[in-house]
Copies of this chain bind each other. A is one copy, B any other.
Amino acid sequence: MQSIEIQHTDLLKGYNEVRSQTQFLCDPLEIEDFVVQPVMDVSPLKWHLGHTTWFFENFILVPNMLDYKAFHPKYAYLFNSYYISAGDRWSRENRGQLTRPTVKEVFEYRSYVDEHMKQFLENQEIAETLAEVLILGMNHEQQHQELFLYDIKRILGDNPLFPVYRKEEKPVKQVNSEMEWLNIDEGIYEIGHEGNGFHFDNEEGRHKVFLHEFQICSSLITNGEYLKFIEDGGYRNHMLWLSEAWDWVNENEVKAPRYWNQEDGGEWGHYTLHGYEQIKEEDPVCHISFYEADAFARWRGCRLPTEQEWEVACKMYSPNVLADANFVENKHFKAIQTSDFDFFGNLWEWTSSPYVSYPYYNPPEGALGEYNGKFMVNQMVLRGGSFGTPRNHIRATYRNFFHPHLRWMFSGIRLAKYI
């Protein structure tokens, strides 16, 4: 979150764009869809709406806007996620028990905060440090936009009625269907964010790493390739799996990626946000846990790249992509500008790197110090962004992270190997 030069008008424009994109994601849904929480990892959709709004209210308006009156005295309690420093919270596992505030009331909350943000940004000199918090809030809402899509899919996709979210959704295809091994020489490389653009604190601490020579795949593993793994008994061969992964497979009787379903005739189908359909062999395989990605790589005699290898390869083979990222072009279902080698915006790609702090990492003071740093154990890094990630939210240095058994997000596999 280094210093950035930015104009007030740009801030408000960017803010409005992010906020309206959230609205866009809500449009196809029914009120009922906003309420439930099928498992703890999924939050009710109206909670996402309230929480991202609370972020602006709590970190921008309350401390900085004179005479600002919080919309409701209990919303901070209801919509704080995990910021212990920011006060008591309703428990995460019980978010799905709250039928009130209603969806309508949550949208009123959003309008109220938007109106005050407009007033605030139009009438106030915004200090650089505050602008940083605001831009953090915008990126924060973009992260929740993607989580929102995961959660919609989780909520609708397990319903035996298989409701359609949006008929016209067309997740992007890989540009390069021809797989190629890309070479990276051994040497010292620099890792981490550089320059004035927005980035999260966990990308800071630019530092050197030594990489041995390696190769990385130009494209993601497809459904067709993954089907071969299934058909070869991959889910039944313990030698391919980490010990905890093998327990996970057996306890959950995992036999295919999340949302996949083998029909009577042996054909595979899966739920997508535009409805239930047959598996397409050429599409990249999605909804893969780290455990599965790791086992698949072993089966293929390869491995997953480290996050450092991924970052170096990305910078080398997709250097120009998304250079013009900004807060304008961010409609979710638009065509995506992809690089020659597709390192961005298809699926989050599992790396073999556990999520730990970079050298010299220092989280910010106060509640925002809880944003990223406190999750640096037992999770694995994913890189590259997915078709659900807003375009201007993707960076080569961006570090996403999830627990290794999770797969309700848009996650896939890219292979690497030593030569």
Contacts and interface: CB of A to CB of B under 8 A. Distances in A.
Nearest to A352: B356
B30 A32 contact: no
A316 interface: no
Contact of A97 (B38, B77, B359): B38
Contact of A375 (B100, B242, B356, B380): B242
Nearest to A38: B97
Interface stretch (A156-164, A263-271, A277-285, A389-397): A156-164
Given A100-B159, A374-B241, A35 B35 contact: yes
Question: Within the oligomer, what is the number of copies of this chain?
Answer: 4
A238 B208 CA distance: 31
A85 interface: yes
Interface in A94-123: 94, 96-103
B78 A30 contact: no
Interface residues of A, number: 66
Interface SS of A by simple majority: mixed
Which of A155, A210, A353 has most chain B Cβ within 10 Å? A210
Which of A155, A243, A359 has most chain B Cβ within 10 Å? A243
Contact of A207 (B33, B84, B212): B212
A99 B243 contact: no
A90 B354 CA distance: 32
Interface string A143-184: 000000000000110111101000000000000000000000
Contact of A30 (B82, B99, B156): B99
Contact of A208 (B210, B244, B370): B210
A40 interface: no
B352 A354 contact: no
Interface string A339-358: 00000000000001110110
Nearest to A77: B160
A34 interface: yes
Interface string A244-261: 111000000000000000
A336 to B, nearest CB: 29
Nearest to A155: B99
Contacts of A378: 244, 378, 404
A230 interface: no
Given A155-B97, A243-B375, A244-B377, A74 B31 contact: no
Which of A99, A238, A353 has most chain B Cβ within 10 Å? A99
A62 interface: no
A4 interface: no
Contact of A102 (B32, B99, B155, B376): B32
A297 to B, nearest CB: 12
A-B CB proximity, top 9 nearest? A354-B354, A32-B99, A210-B210, A243-B374, A38-B97, A33-B99, A31-B31, A84-B238, A35-B35
22 contacts: A31-B103, A33-B99, A35-B36, A78-B160, A85-B238, A85-B239, A90-B160, A96-B96, A97-B158, A97-B159, A99-B155, A99-B156, A100-B161, A188-B210, A212-B359, A212-B360, A242-B377, A243-B375, A246-B374, A291-B377, A294-B377, A353-B356
